[in-house]
Amino acid sequence: MDLQRARFVVDGMDCADCARRIEERLNRMGGVRGTTSNTGARTVTVEYEPDLVVPDQMRAELGRIGYLASERDSAGQLHAMRAGVWGTPFARRTYVSAGCFGIGLVLLWTALPDAARLLFFIGALVGGWNFMPVGFRALVRGVLDMHVLMTFAILGAIGLGEPLEAAAIAFLFSLAELLEQFAVRRAHDSLRGLLSLSPERATVLRDGEERLVPADELRPGDLILLRIGERVPVDGTVVEGATAVDASAITGESIPVDCVVGDGVMSGMRATGGFAVIRVDRPRDESTLARIVQLIEGAEARKARSERFVARFARVYTPAVTAFAFLVVTIPTVFLGAPFDLWFERALTLLVIACPCALVISTPVAVVSGLTAAARHGVLIKGGETLEELAAVRTIALDKTGTLTYGHPVVTDMEAWDGRPADELMGKAAAAERRSEHPLARAIVRGALDRGIDIDRHRVAAFAATPGVGVTAMVDGEEISVGGEQDVQLGARGETAVERIEKLRESGKTVLVVSSDGRPAGMIALADRPRVESRETVETLARLGIRPVMLTGDDALTASQVASAVGISEFYARLRPGEKLEWIERVEPEARPTAMVGDGVNDAPALAAAGVGIAMGAAGSDVALETADAALMGDRVERLPYLFRLARVSRRVIRQNVIASIFIKLSLAAAVPFGLVSLVTAVLVGDLGASLGVTANSMRLAGLRPRVRP
């Protein structure tokens, strides 16, 4: 039977323990075949058999254990949390608890103990209500979780006649939980910021009239207008005019990119110059921006190894400390005749320490911070597991074309043979080629513009293109032809010209001869040359201890030239896609994990087989986004060192958080039987302090930026 998928936003699912309990509850329902939770986005995705169970039944089941669930919209957008954590009922109860606790302390210091005790009692109950309802329901089901432990601790302190400590536990633990919720949601701010880059409305051209319509109503084929300062609402293609766009939010490019007729634009880009008419290629919910957000949300559900370790540790740690608490109160009082109140309070302190909240957020907050920091700089990482794999990479295989090279022809040489300046001949050749859609023609036009040559000053007429030969046009009254099959005999200089052309062709370049009124006047050479940043990138990777290897389908001569130019000593040429896959499969067991960098299309098999597949220039490419484990959204190979640095720093932060959390919890637990830790200290240090510490440490990742020139 075909399975269907439902996705819910679950109010109150703010920790790994909550997520585990929700998953277990749903998985017990008949017809549910699998669940995946994402505590950061507070979502649960359920695969189910529609004939056996429906989403309404799942929501009702979650309601029975104290969670309010609502279905997500089909576009997969993040749930709008306008009020944030500070406007929720949980937060309001925390404020009341804090007020009662603070005023109670003032009254206690001013010799009004009865009024203080009353306020402490109220504060304990109000703050405790953040945990008690769920705790009672969990206790009935025989589940030992954080809510049960907090309920015992608060009611136990009240039973001991210590309302001050009960109020302190309720307030401080509520505050700790509130800060944990804020930390997780704060880590998503950049992701929610991506969504805001897509405008809600767009100017569409219909029946010759401009109309302002909601962006959600745009459909493929619609024509929209893009003016300076406006953002692109959907993915599309320029069909009229020209514009410069700021693509930094998508690809990390810091310099605006010129877009002319035929060039693609993506949702979220901002026009910085010019005016263009854009043909819509995809609806809004299938745009590159929406895909990035969906993939990052999905990535957060892919748990890192350290996160799985923490979950397993917490499942053992909590019941173990709880059992220890039972022994602490039982052995001294029953067998040794010690005071019950004293040892019962110490047992309650252990119950507080048994709550693993700071521990279970130590990894996900760091992972979310790392993923969103990377996304802001044009790098997509699909999950904490990939982040940890990247940190362990010591061998990286790089495809040549489109990765180390530009992947398209660029002008490398130009010469004029008839005595005129080379720029003048280049300008006329570009003017003639401007009406052609051939990749070599576009490269010549782009080369002339890059050299500052004014093409618009030339008058072009009688344009004609011959497939496989070239183009001919009247440029300023002069017949200009550009092609590869022309007579280059130039009298006494003919032999020199032929030798020059042959030498360029032997070096892997394409040579086009430019003729004026039927006579050869010069030549233009083009090649797919190495990126300017490739050599520095390779050198930086080597300094990071990563061995670079180049894999290419080109001939050995071209491969050798490119490898030498970028500083790679180990390369393999004439490899078909299947042979690249074989190379990865041979090396991966020895150098695990190996990273493979490619375009995500021809290299898809190798990307999938590598320990970490990294797609270059993935913006707008569904194949690249789906195939790779990580993706550089723009054609910026220099982002690779940043990717590995971020992964290594993230791994270090995660380990620091986990080790510190476990050390603090175990140290406090060991000190409790000796009377060295009070209830309030357990909450202040073991939960609030530890939570603040791991959160602050994780947020450092947000400030990690690429160390590259713009």
Catalytic residue annotation: 399
Q: Are 120 and 163 in contact (CB under 8 A)?
A: yes
Quick one: residue 620, left, alpha or beta (phi over 0 = left, psi -120 to 50 = alpha)? left
Rounded alpha-carbon distances, angstroms, from residue 96 to 93, 175, 370, 478 = 5, 11, 35, 86
Return the SS3 of 475.
strand
What is the b/e burial string over 252-271, where b = at least 16 CB atoms within 10 angstroms of the residue's CB? Answer: bbeebbebbeeeebbbbbbb
Q: How far apart are CA 157 and CA 348, in angstroms?
A: 8
- List, in sequence order, the alpha helices (H) in 473-618: 494-506, 534-543, 556-566, 577-587, 604-609
Type of residue numbered 167: A
Q: Are 81 and 39 in contact (CB under 8 A)?
A: no
Instruction: Sort strands 594-598 and 612-616 into parallel, antiparallel or unpaired.
Output: parallel
What's the full length of the chain, in residues?
710
Instruction: Sort strands 264-265 and 223-226 into parallel, antiparallel or unpaired.
Output: unpaired
- Give strand ranges (E) for 110-200: none
- Rounded to 5°, angle at Cα 498 from 497 and 501: 85
Q: How far apart are CA 702 and CA 94, in angstroms?
A: 28
Q: How far apart are CA 597 and CA 538, in angstroms?
A: 13
In the chain the first and final C-alpha atoms are separated, in Å, by: 52
**Diameter of the chain measured on Cα atoms:** 118
Q: Are 397 and 570 in contact (CB under 8 A)?
A: no
Which stretch of DSSP H or E encloses residue 115? Answer: helix 113-128
Residue (of 525, 513, 518) closest to 417 by Cα position: 513
Q: What are phi and psi of 257, to 5 degrees?
A: -110, 130
Non-local CB neighbours of 318 within 8 Å, separated by 6+ positions:
144, 145, 149, 354, 355, 356
Assigned token pair, 230: 């406006």
How many Cβ atoms sit within 10 Å of the Cβ of residue 364? 26
Q: How far apart are CA 631 and CA 15, in angstroms?
A: 29
Q: How far apart are CA 110 and CA 684, in angstroms?
A: 25
Which stretch of DSSP H or E encloses residue 533? Answer: none
CA-based R_g, the chain, Å: 33
- Rounded to 5°, angle at Cα 96 from 91 and 100: 145
Inter-axis angle of helices 305-330 and 639-671, nearest 10? 10
